[in-house]
Amino acid sequence: MEWIAAITTGGMAGFGLWMLLDRNLKRVVLGVAVLGNAINLGVLTAGRFGAQQAAFVSAGSGADDLANPLPQALVLTAIVIGFSLFIFALALLKRTRELHGDHSTDLISSMTEQPAPDWHAGEHGAAPEREHKETRP
Partner 1 sequence: MMALLVAPVLVPLLTLVLCILLRGAPLRLLQAVSLSGALALLAVGGYLVWLAAGGTILSGQMGNWQAPFGISLVIDRLSAAMIAISALTGLATLVYGISRDEDAPLTGDFHLFVHGLLAGIGGAFITADIFNLYVWFEVLLIASFALMALGGGKRRLSGTITYVVLNLFATLLFLLAAGLIYGSSGTLNMGELAVLVRAGEAPPGTTPALLLMLLSFSIKAALFPVFGWLPATYHVAYTAVSAMFAGLLTKVGVYALIRLVTLLWPEYGLIHEGLLWIACATMLVGVLGAAAQTEVRRILSFHIVSQVGYMILGLALSTPLALTGAVFYLIHHIVVKANLFFIGGLAARLCGSERLAAMGGLYARWPMLALLFAIPALSLAGIPPLSGFWAKFLLVKASLDSAAWIATAIALITGVFTLLSMNKIWNEAFLKPHPQGDEQLPQRLGLRSAWFSVAGLALLTVVIGLAAGPVIDYAAAAAAQLGDPQVYIQGFLPQEGD
Please tell me whether residue 126 binds partner 1 under the rule CB under 8 A: yes
CB of 15 to partner 1, least distance (A): 14
Pick the closer one to partner 1 by CB: 61 or 77: 77
Buried b (16+ CB within 10 A) or exposed e, 110-133: eeeeeeeeeeeeeeeeeeeeeeee
Buried b (16+ CB within 10 A) or exposed e, 100-109: eeebeeeeee
Size of the residue set binding partner 1 (CB under 8 A): 54
Please tell me whether residue 100 binds partner 1 under the rule CB under 8 A: yes
- The vertex-80 CA angle with 74 and 82, nearest 5°, equals 95
User: Which positions lie near partner 1, rule CB under 8 A?
Assistant: 20, 25, 28-29, 32, 35-36, 39-40, 42-48, 70-71, 74, 77-78, 81, 84-85, 88-89, 92-93, 95-96, 99-100, 107-109, 111-112, 114-128, 130, 133
